[in-house]
Structure 1
Amino acid sequence: MKDSTIKKLEILAESAKYDVSCASSGTSRKNQQGGIGSAQGWGICHSFTADGRCVALLKIMLTNFCLYDCAYCINRHSNDIPRAAFSPKELTELTIEFYRRNYIEGLFLSSGIIKNPDHTMERMLRVVKDLRTIHRFNGYIHMKAIPGASSELIYQAGLYADRLSVNLEIATETNLKRLAPDKDHQSIYLPMRHIQQHLIENKEDRKKFRNAPKFASAGQSTQLIVGATDENDKQILELSSKLYKRPSMKRVYYSGFIPVNGYDKRLPMVQDVPRIRENRLYQADWLLRFYHFSVDEIVNDEHQELDLTMDPKLSWAIRNPHYFPVDINRASYEQILRVPGIGVKSARLIVSARQHGRLNFDALKRIGVVLKRAQFFILCHEMTSFKLQNASAEYIRMSLQEPPLLEHSIPQPQQLAMSL
């Protein structure tokens, strides 16, 4: 590899590291005869699969030159940092070389805005199109859709990329305009709507025409920066809930604010946003998507911020003792799902297993229930008394609250969700 290519790689990989909105869940692209790579069932960008396997992608920017001057971005126009740009051909060949050396299993491609959104999108599109058509690369590709780019370019990108994403960054319009004067929510929501419309149209086309190409089979995602502005957790989760009502939105990612531009007086004077807040938002997000919770149950006008000492499901349970006890052998799936220490998989196993006999503590342990948490909220064959009645909320809080997370030991969102 040429020294100039290595230097570009160092600069542009460093510039891309602050974007966390990348994963491959939901894609179904299979390997094809004569092609290379496969994305089926794999997580990308140092994500973890269901069996604990860590897999990686080339997370890179086409260029970190940018016309915009967003206060929170390391690549802002006014920053004096090393700049570089790949040609589409260079980046295509680099991706293939990395794949052949077994360094990566896919590509996450973003870019600074050069000249205008359409010009930038055209260059990114050339990379993913060449990978698919010339090199017959079947691995996972996640591509950023540039706000302001035409609907036609977004459509073309979706024919070659597995997932498209547009980052909202800041939850409220006022704060976005204050920190990123070149952006507004309208320009961000527009490509989101384009992606959604193309997905709906593609779904109809595939019903009518068997060989119609897939469009962005893994849907779209977005990212919100947490802590750069004064939005509370309630505002953030309300926005996420609205986004998830769109059929094409698969994931909202939460990125704790990192003060890379400490000189900008518009930004908070903090060393770092507590990573535990980021993790609590992921857990709350899990409750919205898989546990049938509404935003008002997790946070409300009285409790606008998530409790940092315990997960949001446990916090809700302590605030709502009237909901309990839940009789494991009689309650519905939805009721069981609300018990702290019982996850989606465990709740389904409980409903299935109790058809063959009454469940006791040993059976719940074998199923995978975290009894340290669940014991305060359930009744089962061996336990007819309700522990929550005999234990104060403060006692349960002190018994179950989690120690502060160390920066180097923060679990992945998927791992956090398993303890809900």
Structure 2
Amino acid sequence: MNTLSKLEILADAAKYDASCASSGAAKKNSSQGKGVGSTGGAGICHSYAPDGRCISLLKLLLTNVCLYDCHYCINRRSSNVRRARFTPEEVVELTLSFYKRNYIEGLFLSSGIIRSADYTMEQLIQVAKTLRDDHHFRGYIHLKTIPEASPELIELAGKYADRLSINVELPRQETLAKLAPEKNVARTRDAMGSIGEKIKESKVIKRELRKKKVRSQVGTFATGQSTQMIIGADGSTDAHFLTRAEDLYGNFKLNRVYYSAFSPIPEPSVILPLKSPPLVREHRLYQADWLLRFYGYDVAELMPAEAPNLDLDIDPKLSWALRNRQVFPVDVNRSPIELLYRIPGLGVRNAQRIVGLRRHHALRLQDLIKLRVNLKKCLPFMICIDHSPSRLEWSSERLRAHFAPPPEQLELSFDPPSTSKPVSSDLSTAKEAHHGEF
């Protein structure tokens, strides 16, 4: 099999991993002689750095051959898909070739499990080591780490990669044991813990070297780790996912938890759902995750015991505000910043700007307009010099109806039936249904 065929198979197989935050950018190329470069090549995805920069990555699997039989994975052992495998040298050559043509700025590399977890990890490390040591590659490298691999190999991977990630996959051990019998939450947590400790040690060493104004690669380790969880493959609620995410952020200082809606795969296992969850559920989980990380919320606030799933019609911040109307309205001229964070439609940056501005003068609506605050959402929940909302006018019921999307009317389909039954049969069935006979 030639390299291009392998690339098509293994780049497509890698698309299910959301841990590099692929942006889904529109495809553009210069094949017609207009412009330079391309965003549509096989295996090229887009990730975003913490400062907002868009980074193009070569995203692929070393191989889609796998010893594991995870039911939700298209590359599982029992799946009937085309298999391919790169050698480490081929991945190095591809990465350098794409990089020199300015197609990519880095590499995202994962793999199915071949022979053993340690052997697979050694192959991944060989790619990163060759790029760094032999070719002095200074681009971004993200390695998918295998929790079953030895701690020594995971530590070695961190010396060559900018970021490591281990997929949690599912938030509960009981469902993970059912859908991915070879995986274990405890092993994953142990691996994450060791990576977290190494990242912490590396930061301390770098800080000391900066104080001494010494430039050295001693103690260098990956700067962060991330993970992914699959939404809708089992019966886990949103509370399960967010509780696990809160645990990972708190105990392992993860940079990011990614949520990926389960996508039905060819020849699926009988224990999997037949269709994907609504994509808006994935979106709401990301919104709730953002509130956990930057706005000071906790899972118990966002997910009361009687409602273990997020409201799909309105965002979680607004949902919390409607359940806690006693907190509002918040005076933007007097309230602490922690309360400003709770106002729907008001982001962290604007809350900080408000705190800075009110030191000089009391804020009016015109000041908020200049800050480009989302007044449509904010007004029912805030007070300023020239605005005070009416509780009667802005009751929780009215607000929910105001912000929730309008109900959609179902449409009848008049397409001809897909079966080739005679018309008389269809008419007789309709008559039986009309008379209550089924």
Please indicate, yes or no, whether the TM-score normalized by the shorter chain is above 0.5. yes
What whole-Å deviation, never above 9, does each CA across 1:249-288 have from its counterpart, x for those lacking one?
A: 1111101011114531111122x21000000000000000
Match status 1:393 vs 2:396? yes
CA drift of 1:51 comes to: 8.8
1:256 to 246, 254, 261: 261
What is the DSSP-based 3-state SS (H/G/I as helix, E as strand, rest coil) of the residue aligned with 1:46?
strand
Scaled by the length of structure 2, the TM-score of the pair is 0.83
Contact 2:47/2:57 (8 A) holds in 1: no
2:243 to 213, 224, 238: 238
Would the alpha carbon gap of residues 399 and 49 (structure 1) be closer, same or farther in structure 2, given more than 3 Å must change? Answer: farther
Match status 1:297 vs 2:301? yes
Contact 1:262/1:269 (8 A) holds in 2: no
CA drift of 1:235 comes to: 1.2
Matches within 5 A, 1:99-248: 99-206=99-206, 211=216, 212-217=218-223, 219-248=224-253
What whole-Å deviation, never above 9, does each CA across 1:12-35 have from its counterpart, x for those lacking one?
A: 0011000001159xxxxxxxxxxx
Give the Cα–Cα distance (whole angstroms) in 1 for the partners of residues 381 and 175 of structure 2. Answer: 41
Give the Cα–Cα distance (whole angstroms) in 2 for the partners of residues 298 and 275 of structure 1. Answer: 19
Higher mean C-alpha displacement, 336-345 vs 143-152 = 143-152
Contact 2:193/2:252 (8 A) holds in 1: no
Give the Cα–Cα distance (whole angstroms) in 2 for the partners of residues 342 and 373 of structure 1. Answer: 8
Match status 1:329 vs 2:333? yes
1:358 to 358, 362, 368: 362
Would the alpha carbon gap of residues 403 and 197 (structure 1) be closer, same or farther in structure 2, given more than 3 Å must change? Answer: farther
CA drift of 1:110 comes to: 0.2
Matches within 5 A, 1:13-162: 13-23=11-21, 45-48=45-48, 54-162=54-162
What is the DSSP-based 3-state SS (H/G/I as helix, E as strand, rest coil) of the residue aligned with 1:249?
coil
Which residue of structure 1 lines up, in the alignment, with residue 6 of structure 2?
8
CA drift of 1:70 comes to: 0.5
Give the Cα–Cα distance (whole angstroms) in 1 for the partners of residues 355 and 204 of structure 2. Answer: 36
Would the alpha carbon gap of residues 285 and 184 (structure 1) be closer, same or farther in structure 2, given more than 3 Å must change? Answer: same
Contact 1:199/1:248 (8 A) holds in 2: no
Give the Cα–Cα distance (whole angstroms) in 1 for the partners of residues 238 and 54 of structure 2. Answer: 30
Which residue of structure 2 lines up, in the alignment, with residue 276 of structure 1?
280
What is the DSSP-based 3-state SS (H/G/I as helix, E as strand, rest coil) of the residue aligned with 1:305?
coil
Would the alpha carbon gap of residues 108 and 387 (structure 1) be closer, same or farther in structure 2, given more than 3 Å must change? Answer: farther
May I ask how many residue pairs the two structures share in their alignment?
381
Which residue of structure 1 lines up, in the alignment, with residue 25 of structure 2?
none
What is the DSSP-based 3-state SS (H/G/I as helix, E as strand, rest coil) of the residue aligned with 1:7?
helix
Higher mean C-alpha displacement, 183-192 vs 322-331 = 183-192
Gaps of 5+ in 2: 23-43, 409-438
What is the DSSP-based 3-state SS (H/G/I as helix, E as strand, rest coil) of the residue aligned with 1:115?
coil
What is the DSSP-based 3-state SS (H/G/I as helix, E as strand, rest coil) of the residue aligned with 1:283?
helix
**What do you get for the CA RMSD once the two structures are aligned?**
2.0
What is the DSSP-based 3-state SS (H/G/I as helix, E as strand, rest coil) of the residue aligned with 1:164?
strand
What whole-Å deviation, never above 9, does each CA across 1:75-107 have from its counterpart, x for those lacking one?
A: 001111111111111100100101111211111
Give the Cα–Cα distance (whole angstroms) in 2 for the partners of residues 59 and 9 of structure 1. Answer: 10
Contact 2:114/2:120 (8 A) holds in 1: yes
Contact 1:65/1:112 (8 A) holds in 2: yes
Would the alpha carbon gap of residues 207 and 291 (structure 1) be closer, same or farther in structure 2, given more than 3 Å must change? Answer: closer
Code of the aligned partner of 2:359: Q
Contact 1:377/1:387 (8 A) holds in 2: no
Give the Cα–Cα distance (whole angstroms) in 2 for the partners of residues 164 and 51 of structure 1. Answer: 19
CA drift of 1:152 comes to: 1.0
Give the Cα–Cα distance (whole angstroms) in 2 for the partners of residues 206 and 65 of structure 1. Answer: 39
CA drift of 1:333 comes to: 0.7
What is the DSSP-based 3-state SS (H/G/I as helix, E as strand, rest coil) of the residue aligned with 2:125?
helix
CA drift of 1:390 comes to: 2.5
Give the Cα–Cα distance (whole angstroms) in 1 for the partners of residues 204 and 317 of structure 2. Answer: 38
What is the DSSP-based 3-state SS (H/G/I as helix, E as strand, rest coil) of the residue aligned with 1:221?
strand
Give the Cα–Cα distance (whole angstroms) in 1 for the partners of residues 157 and 309 of structure 2. Answer: 38
CA drift of 1:186 comes to: 2.0
Would the alpha carbon gap of residues 103 and 86 (structure 1) be closer, same or farther in structure 2, given more than 3 Å must change? Answer: same
CA drift of 1:320 comes to: 0.5
Q: Which has the larger radius of gyration?
A: 2
Give the Cα–Cα distance (whole angstroms) in 2 for the partners of residues 51 and 295 of structure 1. Answer: 27
Aligned residues with identical type, % of pairs: 49
Gaps of 5+ in 1: 25-43, 406-420
Code of the aligned partner of 1:314: L
Code of the aligned partner of 2:222: A
Give the Cα–Cα distance (whole angstroms) in 1 for the partners of residues 360 and 406 of structure 2. Answer: 39
